[in-house]
Amino acid sequence: MKIARLPLATLETSVVPSRARRKPKSYWALRIGIGILAFYIAVALLSLVWTPYDPLTPGIGDGYDAPSLAFPLGTDRLGADMLSRLMAGARYDLGISLTAVAIALTVGTTIGTFAGYYGGKVDIAILRGVEIFQAFPGLLFAMLVVQAVGAGITNVILVLSFVGIPDYLRLARAEIHAKRHWQYAEAARMVGNPPWRVAFRHLLPNSVGPVLAFTSINAAFSALVTASLGFLGLGLGPNTPEWGSMIARGQDGVMTGQWWVSFFPGLAIMGLTGSFYLLGDALSDITDPRRRQ
């Protein structure tokens, strides 16, 4: 009895297209997300050395000047240039989000790696504490803490970091706990590596994919919380060119036709969070072998 052999062309058409359909989508999302984020970073860096007008000076134009050649994005109710304030706001919103994410990533992943590798009563105690903390909504908790400790860049960064740590802790703990008895981890222990080296040198690098994908999502959440605190007057100073406070500053003019005062800061927030979500979706697709098949 002869076994039929499928032609090579048949195998290529049945296997390759599924991957070919997934990869372009992932990499296009990655390129678009990186491109938008690079634009925001470039604007933030440029605002350190140049803006069309002083973003902190009111009265440059009349209140609620419509977009024109002199003021491409118009002015707010105090006559401050919207374009200059948007450029300056990029370094606040982007800088706060990235700094808070970096702190939460470092602290949460470190604690989660120890908890997932060693397990035991310490692991259980850490998880119970995290579950109690996560019973409070992140935005509500940030509002309460900022209201208690006061506004300011440092306080907002610390609060956002503290809110993000439990998510990284749970994610890193789950990945390390699931892989701590895999063959490469057992082999690393057999050749004499200490536990901390097995956890951080062998297990963590092989578990970093989901952590990186979540980092982009957490950065988008941090940007939204920063803008929300600014809108509520709980974030930075009252005259700081932060996008959330700019929306609040222009909400009186929305009903009377001065749409640009709130529209452009909202558009900036949407673009920044959209770039983070694109990066997160692409990274989760690229780092997960099951989704590439």
Q: Which domains does the chain have, with CATH numbers?
A: 32-53+74-292 (1.10.3720.10)
Burial class of 186 by CB neighbour count within 10 A (0 to 12, 13 to 18, 19+) = exposed
What's at 289, amino acid-wise? P
In the Cβ-directed half-sphere of 128, how many Cα atoms lie within 13 Å? 6
Cβ-proximal residues to 62 (8 Å cutoff; 6+ apart), any chain: 75, 79
Find the farthest-apart pair of alpha carbons in the chain and give their distance in angstroms, rounded: 91
Mean pLDDT across the chain? 86
pTM over 0.75: yes
Distance CA 198, CA 186 (A): 9
pLDDT-derived band at 26 (thresholds 50, 70, 90) equals: confident
Q: Is 1's pLDDT higher than 70?
A: no
pLDDT in tens, 168-200: 999 999 999 888 888 888 888 888 888 888 999
